Chain A
Amino acid sequence: MFKYLFAKNEEIPPGTAAVYFGFSSIIWFVIGTGLGSFNAAKLAFPDFVTGYEYFSFGHMRQVHVMAVIFGWISMAFAMAMMYITPALGNTRLWSEKLGVWNCFLWNGGLSLALTLLWMGMTSGREYSDFPWFIDLVILFGVILPLGINVWMTIMKRRTQGIYTTNWFFGSAVFMVWIVLLVGNLPEYFQLTGLTEAYLTWWFAHNVLGLWITPVAAAIAYYTVPKVTGNPLYSHRIGHLHFWSVVVFYSTPAAHHLMSSPLPEWLKSFASVEGVLILVPAIAFVSNLLLTMTGKWRYFVDNVEIKFTITGVLMAIPLNMQGGFQQTRAINWYIHGTGWIVAHAHLALRGFSTFLEAAAVYYGLQTIMRRKLYSLTLANFHFWFLLIGFTIYWVSMTIAGLIQGAAKIYEVPYIDTVIAEHPYMIARWVGGTMVFTGNLVWLYNMWMTARAGTMIPAGRLPHELAYER
């Protein structure tokens, strides 16, 4: 990687940045899920590794979250942007060198950020835990270079129109930059009180709604037509999806604080807007499933479509939960319980991760022109992710319903802890399966780069999947 940092832009092979981002994202996924598994073990068995400040739950919990969001998910996004954006514009990435530098700064910055966070240097704000100087590094060293590359590639495209995926890529990088800037105002200017509490959740909501959800969806808009060969079912429904994300997903931030003393009008407004999240969700899911028409065998045969469609299908329960759990009638029961933890994992580990994993699988094979080393291992990865996640989600949902009942019936808290214990063990088992699957994935992709069969020019990886 280092040899390209100071090479001339023309001398860097196209796709280099995407490959670096792809492998970085897989490594961060292994780290992030490993930490998750370790944390889950501590919730099930509190005396597992005890007495060390840096291995206590309170120091490691946020490192797990930030590693998967900024390491795995966001780097997989960057990987997708580095190869899909130019592909859809029938051009090359605007600056491969900027992409390589972006990857270098991102890995270095994130390693530093997570180390400091692990030590306890935190702003004490969920999802915006990093101290303000790290936020500035993310703004100007990570997101801005990525945005410049994406925007310039779209502008220098050699096609007339801009495809759906690229609307989302271009606008999401812009929106997440604004969200990072505004959401961290309490840290730059030391805003206090309700302003700080509200902006914390304004950030947390919008980083999901304007970055993770739309970019993951945009990836699926590319993968499904590309692999199946079907054109996207409807450009118009894509428009509906895009505009309803901008309008409805950017407004319900206050529904994360339904039981706090925020202005009542704001909570009611947020709640109504929150239900309207179903509009982009239904547009997205229906558009993608209808694109599959006549090609459903790929859901069984093809590993990228298997991942993608699983993620798309998970958007259905995800948005049904998301749309309704934030209304007052339901929120009072499940707020602050394991239900929400299950929902958050459904969004990130379920819906979003499956879509990005498909993009990383497909992109690395395409750019490196190497067929996947082992389809069996890829299927093993898929099933370990799916079964591990399902165990996690079911156990945490049940634990959340127990907590909710205990909350409203005023059960002594320790009885809730005792009742949750079996589900905490199940959560650890599920999380460990995900971690194991990712280790296998890393090995598989490494071996693909080292020993994968060459893909001849003009052929696509999925066409050769079953050829020797």
Chain B
Amino acid sequence: MAFREYKIGARLFGVALGLSMMITLYMPSLNIVEVGSTEMGLRKGLQYGRIGGFSVEDPFMKGEGKPLTVILKQDPQTGEQIEPIYAYVYKSGIPFTSAIRHPRIMGKGVEDLSLETGRIGEASQDAGAVFVVSEGRWNGKKIHYIENATATRNWTPDVVMGSVTDADVRYIGAGKIMFVKEGCWWCHTLLPEETQDWQVFGAPPRLGDFNSESPTALGSDRKAPDLLHVGSRNSSREWMMMHFFNPRLVQPHSIMPRFDYLWGQVDADGNAIDYDKWRAEYNEYTAGTRVYPPDVPMPAANSQARYLIDFVLNLK
């Protein structure tokens, strides 16, 4: 080999690169794998589904193959009133989130409770399943774990979906796809910093807030407010609707793009949306020849705009 003269150099190169990868990849992974998932981490994983970016079940990023988040105010089996809870409905064939398929990533304790008390090992992707987040005790500590409500309470996806109306359904998993596809995270971070940031944008995320979420889309270049807790600051669906359709309707100085195209062809009542007319009237409004801006159409129940609004309002 003509590298003969470089025997020592080539070996040293291997040692140096290997050592570097051991310190920067292997050693951190020992710490990260020990992290127990928080309640937020469990809920994020359950509501986003298997993956929030490109995936084989949703190659064109339309929000397909994602679970539904449902607000239950009564037990779907018995009909009796209960404290409102979030149930995460995976209809038949919808890929499970990583935490269900690999319970180990939830961390010690959360994994044990989810498997033993929550019976998540019995969930079947083919049959579909409904999950809830429950509170339990492990080694004297209060922790949250995932409960397979299909096994423990006999809440099947069909029963749960039959007991609620569209008003109680949130398309959060599909909304995360919109958030990633439309590049919201190029300007809005999901990472309040550990400086004074938290006074306005809320608490920085904790260690276990991410298990089972991918991509985390923390963002790096903040050209707009942090969104990790935006649903707590502003919970108005109407404001979000106007802001997405044309941000300048509610914030004249905003540099955010208009996302009116996410409304699609028709509004909530099935009427065709006339974008040209809307823009013409809006231009009259900005020119001062019209007193009020034109009304923003209500997004249809299965429109991408609705998915995105569901996602953003749920960032609490």
In the bound complex, residues from chain A placing their C-beta under 8 Å from that of B59 are 121
The segment from B78-86, B131-139, B182-190 found at the interface with A is B182-190
Q: Is the CB of A124 within 8 A of B217?
A: yes
**Does A108 count as interface, using CB distance less than 8 angstroms?**
no
Interface residues as binary, A277-302 with B (CB distance below 8 Å gives 1, 0 otherwise): 00000000000000000000000000
Assembled-state Cα–Cα distance A200/B190 (Å)? 15
For residue B252, give the distance in angstroms from its CB to the closest CB of chain A. 9
**Does B54 count as interface, using CB distance less than 8 angstroms?**
yes
**Does A11 count as interface, using CB distance less than 8 angstroms?**
no
**Does A377 count as interface, using CB distance less than 8 angstroms?**
no
Q: Is the CB of A192 within 8 A of B189?
A: no
The segment from B14-22, B148-156, B163-171 found at the interface with A is B14-22
Assembled-state Cα–Cα distance A246/B19 (Å)? 10
Assembled-state Cα–Cα distance A291/B16 (Å)? 29
- B197 CB contact (under 8 Å) in A42, A59, A337, A407: A407
Q: Is the CB of B2 within 8 A of A51?
A: no
The segment from A17-25, A305-313, A411-419 found at the interface with B is A411-419
Assembled-state Cα–Cα distance A417/B188 (Å)? 13
- A58 CB contact (under 8 Å) in B17, B186, B213: B186
- B204 CB contact (under 8 Å) in A190, A194, A261: A261
The segment from B25-33, B109-117, B122-130, B234-242 found at the interface with A is B25-33
Q: Is the CB of B1 within 8 A of A182?
A: no
Q: How many residues of A contact B (CB 8 A)?
A: 83
Assembled-state Cα–Cα distance A186/B32 (Å)? 14
**Does A462 count as interface, using CB distance less than 8 angstroms?**
no
Q: Is the CB of A62 within 8 A of B186?
A: yes
**Does A43 count as interface, using CB distance less than 8 angstroms?**
yes
Assembled-state Cα–Cα distance A186/B45 (Å)? 15
**Does B195 count as interface, using CB distance less than 8 angstroms?**
yes
With contacts A121-B59, A259-B193 taken as known, whether A191 is within 8 angstroms of B253 at the C-beta atoms is: no
In the bound complex, residues from chain A placing their C-beta under 8 Å from that of B219 are 336
What class of interface size applies to chain B in its complex with A?
A: 35 or more
Interface residues as binary, A334-347 with B (CB distance below 8 Å gives 1, 0 otherwise): 01111011000000
In the bound complex, residues from chain B placing their C-beta under 8 Å from that of A341 are 221
- A124 CB contact (under 8 Å) in B23, B185, B256, B279: B185
The segment from A74-82, A92-100, A156-164, A378-386 found at the interface with B is A156-164
For residue A127, give the distance in angstroms from its CB to the closest CB of chain B. 9
Q: Is the CB of B53 within 8 A of A124?
A: yes
Assembled-state Cα–Cα distance A436/B266 (Å)? 42
Q: Is the CB of B17 within 8 A of A250?
A: yes
Assembled-state Cα–Cα distance A261/B29 (Å)? 13
Q: Is the CB of B255 within 8 A of A197?
A: no
Q: Is the CB of A407 within 8 A of B195?
A: yes
In the bound complex, residues from chain A placing their C-beta under 8 Å from that of B209 are 261
Q: Is the CB of B2 within 8 A of A155?
A: yes
Interface residues as binary, B5-47 with A (CB distance below 8 Å gives 1, 0 otherwise): 1100000110011001101110111011001000001000100
**Does A4 count as interface, using CB distance less than 8 angstroms?**
no
- B24 CB contact (under 8 Å) in A251, A338, A424: A251
Q: Is the CB of B251 within 8 A of A43?
A: no
Question: Which of B251, B255, B259: most chain A Cβ within 10 A?
Answer: B255
With contacts A61-B186, A190-B50, A194-B35 taken as known, whether A418 is within 8 angstroms of B210 at the C-beta atoms is: no
Q: Is the CB of B16 within 8 A of A51?
A: no
Q: Is the CB of B224 within 8 A of A263?
A: no
Q: Is the CB of A56 within 8 A of B259?
A: yes
Interface residues as binary, A308-343 with B (CB distance below 8 Å gives 1, 0 otherwise): 000000000000000000000000100111101100
Q: Is the CB of A57 within 8 A of B257?
A: yes
Majority SS at the chain B contact face: loop
Q: Which of A333-376 contact B (CB under 8 A)?
A: 335-338, 340-341
In the bound complex, residues from chain A placing their C-beta under 8 Å from that of B196 are 407-408, 410
Assembled-state Cα–Cα distance A194/B261 (Å)? 33
Closest chain B residue to A409, Cβ basis: B196
Assembled-state Cα–Cα distance A21/B204 (Å)? 46
For residue A250, give the distance in angstroms from its CB to the closest CB of chain B. 4
Q: Is the CB of A120 within 8 A of B181?
A: yes
In the bound complex, residues from chain A placing their C-beta under 8 Å from that of B220 are 126, 256, 336, 340
Q: Is the CB of B54 within 8 A of A59?
A: no
Q: Which of B50-79 contact A (CB under 8 A)?
A: 50-54, 59-61
Q: Is the CB of A194 within 8 A of B195?
A: no
- B258 CB contact (under 8 Å) in A51, A122, A193: A51
For residue A42, give the distance in angstroms from its CB to the closest CB of chain B. 7
**Does B265 count as interface, using CB distance less than 8 angstroms?**
no
In the bound complex, residues from chain A placing their C-beta under 8 Å from that of B45 are 192
Assembled-state Cα–Cα distance A177/B205 (Å)? 33
For residue B138, give the distance in angstroms from its CB to the closest CB of chain A. 20
Assembled-state Cα–Cα distance A178/B182 (Å)? 30
Closest chain A residue to B185, Cβ basis: A124
- B13 CB contact (under 8 Å) in A51, A246, A269: A246
Interface residues as binary, A392-406 with B (CB distance below 8 Å gives 1, 0 otherwise): 000000000001000
For residue B248, give the distance in angstroms from its CB to the closest CB of chain A. 8
Closest chain A residue to B181, Cβ basis: A120
In the bound complex, residues from chain A placing their C-beta under 8 Å from that of B181 are 58, 120, 122
Q: Which of B263-310 contact A (CB under 8 A)?
A: 275, 279
Closest chain B residue to A54, Cβ basis: B261
With contacts A62-B186, A269-B23, A407-B195 taken as known, whether A119 is within 8 angstroms of B205 at the C-beta atoms is: no
Assembled-state Cα–Cα distance A275/B251 (Å)? 42
- A192 CB contact (under 8 Å) in B182, B211, B257: B211
**Does A31 count as interface, using CB distance less than 8 angstroms?**
no
Assembled-state Cα–Cα distance A198/B218 (Å)? 11
In the bound complex, residues from chain B placing their C-beta under 8 Å from that of A52 are 261
For residue B62, give the distance in angstroms from its CB to the closest CB of chain A. 9
Q: A246-B16, A254-B28, A260-B191 are in contact. List 11 more A-B contacts (CB 8 A).
A: A43-B223, A46-B248, A47-B248, A47-B258, A57-B187, A58-B183, A59-B182, A124-B217, A194-B210, A259-B194, A332-B193
Closest 4 CB pairs of A and B: A58-B183, A124-B53, A193-B210, A124-B215
Give me 22 A-to-B residue pairs in the complex whose CB atoms sit less than 8 angstroms apart, sorted by A's number: A46-B257, A46-B258, A47-B258, A53-B261, A57-B187, A59-B182, A61-B183, A62-B186, A120-B181, A157-B2, A192-B98, A194-B35, A195-B32, A196-B213, A246-B13, A259-B191, A259-B204, A266-B24, A332-B195, A338-B221, A340-B220, A417-B254
